[in-house]
Amino acid sequence: MLFGRAKKNPIKIADKGIIEWKYAVCGYCSTGCSIEVGLNAEGRPVSSRGVADADVNRGKLCLKGIFEHELFTSAGRGLKPLMRTHWHQDWQPARWDTALDTVHDEIRRIQSQYGPDSFAIISTGQMLTEEFYTLGKLTRGLIGTNNYDGNTTLCMSSAVSGYKRSFGSDGPPGCYEDFEHTDCLIAWGSNLPEQHPIIYWRMKEAQEQRGFTLIVVDPRVTMLAQNAHIHLAITPGTDVVLMNAMMHVIFKENLHDQRYIDANTHGIEALRAEVEKYDPVTASKICGIDEDTIRVVARTFAKSKAAMQIWTMGINQSTHGSDGVVGINNLALITGNIGKPGGTSLSITGQCNAMGTREWSSCSGLPNYRYLENEQHRAEMAQFWNVDPAFFPKKRGMFQTDIYQAMEAGQIKGLWLIATNPMSSLPNTARIRKAMEKLEFCCVQDCYQDTESAQYAHVYLPAGTWAEKDGVMTNTERRINRITPITPPPGEAKPDLWIFNRMAERFNKEGKVTFPEKAGDIFLEMGRLSKGRLADISGMDHALIEKNRGIQWPYTADQASLDKSRGEAPPKGGTRLYTVDGTFSYADGRAKLIPLPFIDNNEVPDEKFPVWLNTGRLIEHWHGRTKTGKVANNNKFSPIPFIEINPALAEELGIQRGGYVRMVSRRGDAVAMAQPTQRVPKNMVFLPFHFHDCANRLTLGLLDPHSRQPAYKQSAIRIEKIDDQMAAAKLSMEMRKF
Ligand code: SF4
Task: Output the pLDDT for position 566.
Answer: 64
Nearest alpha-carbon partner for 33 in 19, 46, 12, 49: 49
323-359 per-position pLDDT tens digit: 999 999 999 999 999 999 999 999 999 899 999 999 9
Q: What is the dihedral of CA 627, 629, 635, 638, to 10 degrees?
A: 110
Is the confidence at residue 576, as pLDDT, over 80? yes
- What ligand 1 atom has the least distance to the C-alpha of 25? 7
Question: Which of 251-255, 667-671, 703-707 is predicted most confidently?
Answer: 251-255
Task: Output the pLDDT for position 1.
Answer: 42
Q: In the structure, what pLDDT confidence band is assigned to residue 293 with cuts at 50, 70 and 90?
A: very high
Distance separating alpha carbons of residues 738 and 735, to the nearest angstrom: 7
- What ligand 1 atom has the least distance to the C-alpha of 50? 6
- Stretch 655-661: mean pLDDT, rounded? 95
Ligand 1 center to residue 479 CA distance, Å? 14
Task: Output the pLDDT for position 12.
Answer: 74
Per DSSP, what are the bridge partners of residue 442? 415
Q: Are 255 and 266 in contact (CB under 8 A)?
A: no
Q: Is 728 in the pocket of ligand 1 (CB under 6 A)?
A: no
Task: Output the pLDDT for position 534.
Answer: 92
Can you state the angle between helices 280-287 and 239-252, rounded to 10 degrees? Answer: 160
CA 48 to chain centre: 23
- Stretch 250-277: mean pLDDT, rounded? 98
Instruction: Convert 100-132 to b/e letters by CB count within 10 Å (16 or more is b).
Output: bebbbebbeebbeebebbbbbbbbbbbbbbbbb
H or E stretch including 496? helix 496-507
Distance separating alpha carbons of residues 426 and 154, to the nearest angstrom: 8
Greatest CA separation for the chain: 81
Q: Is 478 in the pocket of ligand 1 (CB under 6 A)?
A: no
Ligand 1 center to residue 475 CA distance, Å? 11
Percent of the chain with pLDDT over 90: 87
Q: Are 453 and 435 in contact (CB under 8 A)?
A: no
Ligand 1 center to residue 61 CA distance, Å? 6
Task: Output the pLDDT for position 15.
Answer: 87
Q: Is 353 in the pocket of ligand 1 (CB under 6 A)?
A: no
- What ligand 1 atom has the least distance to the C-alpha of 57? 4
Is the confidence at residue 498, as pLDDT, over 60? yes
Pocket test for ligand 1, best of 63, 198, 201 (most atoms within 8 A of CB): 198
Is the confidence at residue 569, as pLDDT, over 70? no
Nearest alpha-carbon partner for 593 in 371, 260, 307: 260
Q: What is the mean pLDDT of the chain?
A: 94
Distances 373 to 14, 370, 379 between C-alpha atoms, Å? 58, 9, 11
Amino acid symbol at 169 = S
Distances 460 to 231, 245, 493 between C-alpha atoms, Å? 47, 52, 11
19-41 per-position pLDDT tens digit: 999 999 999 999 999 999 999 99
Q: Is 340 in the pocket of ligand 1 (CB under 6 A)?
A: no
Q: Whose CA is nearest to atom 3 of ligand 1?
A: 62
- Stretch 644-668: mean pLDDT, rounded? 96
Task: Output the pLDDT for position 2.
Answer: 47
594-646 per-position pLDDT tens digit: 999 998 888 999 999 999 999 999 998 988 888 888 888 888 888 889 999 99
Ligand 1 center to residue 310 CA distance, Å? 18
pTM assigned to the model? 0.94
Ligand 1 center to residue 29 CA distance, Å? 5
Q: Whose CA is nearest to atom 2 of ligand 1?
A: 29
Ligand 1 center to residue 33 CA distance, Å? 6
- Stretch 708-731: mean pLDDT, rounded? 93
DSSP string, 300-331: HHHHSSSEEEEE-HHHHSSTTHHHHHHHHHHH
Q: In the structure, what pLDDT confidence band is assigned to residue 568 with cuts at 50, 70 and 90?
A: low
Ligand 1 center to residue 28 CA distance, Å? 6
Ligand 1 center to residue 60 CA distance, Å? 9
Q: Is 33 in the pocket of ligand 1 (CB under 6 A)?
A: yes
Q: Is 60 in the pocket of ligand 1 (CB under 6 A)?
A: no
298-307 per-position pLDDT tens digit: 999 999 999 9
Judge residue 391's burial from the number of C-beta atoms within 10 Å of its C-beta, 0-12 exposed, 13-18 middle, 19 or more buried. middle
Q: Are 24 and 49 in contact (CB under 8 A)?
A: no
Question: HEC string of 6-66?
Answer: CCCCCCCCCCCCEEEEEEEECCCECCCCEEEEEEECCCCEEEEEECCCCCCCCCCCCHHHH
Q: Is 66 in the pocket of ligand 1 (CB under 6 A)?
A: no
Is the confidence at residue 4, as pLDDT, over 60? no
Asked whether the CA dihedral 328, 307, 217, 402 is positive or negative, the reply is positive
Ligand 1 center to residue 712 CA distance, Å? 23
- For residue 163, which phi and psi values (nearest 5 degrees)? -60, -45
- Stretch 419-425: mean pLDDT, rounded? 92
Task: Output the pLDDT for position 623.
Answer: 87
Distance separating alpha carbons of residues 448 and 454, to the nearest angstrom: 9
Q: In the structure, what pLDDT confidence band is assigned to residue 200 with cuts at 50, 70 and 90?
A: very high
Q: Are 291 and 284 in contact (CB under 8 A)?
A: yes
Q: Whose CA is nearest to atom 4 of ligand 1?
A: 33
- For residue 308, which phi and psi values (nearest 5 degrees)? -125, 160
Pocket test for ligand 1, best of 64, 191, 202, 619 (most atoms within 8 A of CB): 64
Q: Is 31 in the pocket of ligand 1 (CB under 6 A)?
A: yes
Distance separating alpha carbons of residues 295 and 248, to the nearest angstrom: 9
Is the confidence at residue 661, as pLDDT, over 60? yes
Q: Is 348 in the pocket of ligand 1 (CB under 6 A)?
A: no
Q: Is 30 in the pocket of ligand 1 (CB under 6 A)?
A: no
Ligand 1 center to residue 474 CA distance, Å? 13
Per DSSP, what are the bridge partners of residue 674? 643
- What ligand 1 atom has the least distance to the C-alpha of 475? 7
175-179, 368-372, 698-702: which has the minimum mean pLDDT?
698-702
48-62 per-position pLDDT tens digit: 999 999 999 999 999
Q: In the structure, what pLDDT confidence band is assigned to residue 278 with cuts at 50, 70 and 90?
A: very high
Q: Is 141 in the pocket of ligand 1 (CB under 6 A)?
A: no
- Stretch 268-289: mean pLDDT, rounded? 98
- Stretch 685-695: mean pLDDT, rounded? 91
Judge residue 246's burial from the number of C-beta atoms within 10 Å of its C-beta, 0-12 exposed, 13-18 middle, 19 or more buried. buried
CB atoms within 10 A of CB 89: 10
Q: In the structure, what pLDDT confidence band is assigned to residue 591 with cuts at 50, 70 and 90?
A: very high
Distance separating alpha carbons of residues 477 and 347, to the nearest angstrom: 9
Amino acid symbol at 14 = A
Q: In the structure, what pLDDT confidence band is assigned to residue 571 with cuts at 50, 70 and 90?
A: low
108-121 per-position pLDDT tens digit: 999 999 999 999 99
Q: Is 65 in the pocket of ligand 1 (CB under 6 A)?
A: yes
